[in-house]
Amino acid sequence: MRLLYLIAETWPTHRADVAALFGKYLPRHGIQSDLVTGRTSGHEGPIEWGGGEAILCNISGGQTKKHIKTLLHGIRQLFVADCKRYDAIQVRDMPFLGLLGLIAARLKGLPFIYWMSYPISEGQIAYAWERGLSQGMMKFFFPWVRGHVGRVLLYRVVLPSAEHIFVQSAHMKQRMVERGIPADRMTPVPMGVDLEAMQPVKVDPVFDPRLKGRRALVYLGTMISTRRIEILFDMLARVREEVPSALLVLVGDAEDVRHKRWLLQQAESAGVAEHVIWTGWLPMSEGWRYVRAAEVGLSPVPRGPLLDVGTPTKVSEYLALGVPVVCSDNPDQQYLVSVSESGKCVPYRAELFASAVLQILFLDKESKILMAERGAETVRVQRDYSVIAAAVSSVYFKEL
């Protein structure tokens, strides 16, 4: 089976549900994907796409040029594609190209599939309102219009007409059912972990003198404003009242320099600045080593219609590495913690996170070992990309 697959992410993509699932594991089940996307300057090197052929165009320039070039490239590839080469056309997170992909598929007599990893239209509208008019009318108006037009196209035309839809989570599937999309045409595909690449047993705890004699709590990921990382500083202050050696390690960074400065100020205000380690962005393998050096992995995901439908990877990564988790009550995180019994899931409030962290820190050694074993087994059985790929491939062969 071969797919023509149009994605919004630029080349090279580090999204595991593209790079690992389609670039590595699905080919083992006989599913190849010709990837259609753009690449920016600085990534002109050799193309190594294990899933099939990478059909790329240069999209260097500003955001407007990027969108226009991506759109034109996608349109061209949709309509020059040889229908005898492909078994289906698939579009990911791009409502307008989804409409054009649907038209091209009908003209060529091919099935059309839509991959929905995020409610992109709603995200664009929310982004426009968050940005406001502070950066000018066009920078507000462009995502606002894209979001509203995309939402109409997606829910009224693209999704109802698709032969099959892959969604991010069971919660997203339920949301789509409420919008009138038939449940039997949707398959949830959560984010997973490439255990073959990670090799958890070979990931050694990092040697960092700053961790010596400390009980580390780790957060791995972005620090954009919507994650509300500042709550973790208040949590740390509360934890340190009972465990003075507690330390927070933040592996990642904020994209906005102003927001990073504000976070530093919040750590100062909470009285924990000298007990927070900021590593910045690290290679994933190095980030995992910091996780292995910690006693608790933290996964705060504030509730809301955009984030509730996601399947955050942090919990799966922590559990795969044998580290108990304290996470917020995102539906998928609740599920993983419930089935693995390897952490605590509570609403994202400083006092509740602190209480959950303390409960884990005060566990005896045997209980922590059991939690580590149960967590790693849950990820191996349910969230390893080799397992996810087997399930996804069966859907492709059944539906196409």
- Model confidence over 120-133: pLDDT tens digits? 999 888 887 877 77
Instruction: Verify that 167 and 262 share a domain, yes or no.
Output: no
Number of structural domains the chain divides into? 2
Instruction: Verify that 151 and 204 share a domain, yes or no.
Output: no
Instruction: Verify that 146 and 229 share a domain, yes or no.
Output: no
Instruction: Verify that 227 and 209 share a domain, yes or no.
Output: yes
Least confident segment among 41-45, 229-233, 298-302, 345-349: 41-45
Instruction: Verify that 319 and 179 share a domain, yes or no.
Output: no
Q: By C-alpha distance, which of 14, 27, 183, 158 is closest to 89?
A: 158
* Alpha-carbon gap, residue 219 to 206, rounded angstroms: 15
Q: By C-alpha distance, which of 157, 83, 84, 95 is closest to 121?
A: 95
Instruction: Verify that 210 and 152 share a domain, yes or no.
Output: no
Task: Indicate the residue type of 291.
Answer: V
Instruction: Verify that 297 and 393 share a domain, yes or no.
Output: no
Against a cut of 0.85, is the pTM above it?
yes
* Alpha-carbon gap, residue 234 to 239, rounded angstroms: 9
Q: Is the pLDDT of residue 269 over 80?
A: yes
Query: Which residues span the domain enclosing 71?
Result: 2-190+385-399
Instruction: Verify that 378 and 391 share a domain, yes or no.
Output: no
* Alpha-carbon gap, residue 329 to 337, rounded angstroms: 10
* 144-160 per-position pLDDT tens digit: 888 899 999 999 999 99
Indicate the SS3 state at residue 37.
Answer: strand
* 347-377 per-position pLDDT tens digit: 999 999 999 999 999 999 999 999 999 999 9
CB 167 within 8 A of CB 191: no
Instruction: Verify that 53 and 162 share a domain, yes or no.
Output: yes
Q: At what angle do helices 137-153 and 95-108 cross, to 10 degrees?
A: 40
Instruction: Verify that 48 and 176 share a domain, yes or no.
Output: yes
Instruction: Verify that 179 and 42 share a domain, yes or no.
Output: yes
* Alpha-carbon gap, residue 102 to 78, rounded angstroms: 10
Domain of 102: which CATH number?
3.40.50.2000
* Alpha-carbon gap, residue 214 to 170, rounded angstroms: 39
* Alpha-carbon gap, residue 13 to 17, rounded angstroms: 10
* 17-43 per-position pLDDT tens digit: 999 999 999 999 999 999 999 987 665
Instruction: Verify that 251 and 289 share a domain, yes or no.
Output: yes
For tokens 């996470």, name the residue: 327
pLDDT level of residue 197 (50, 70, 90 thresholds): very high
* Alpha-carbon gap, residue 40 to 278, rounded angstroms: 29
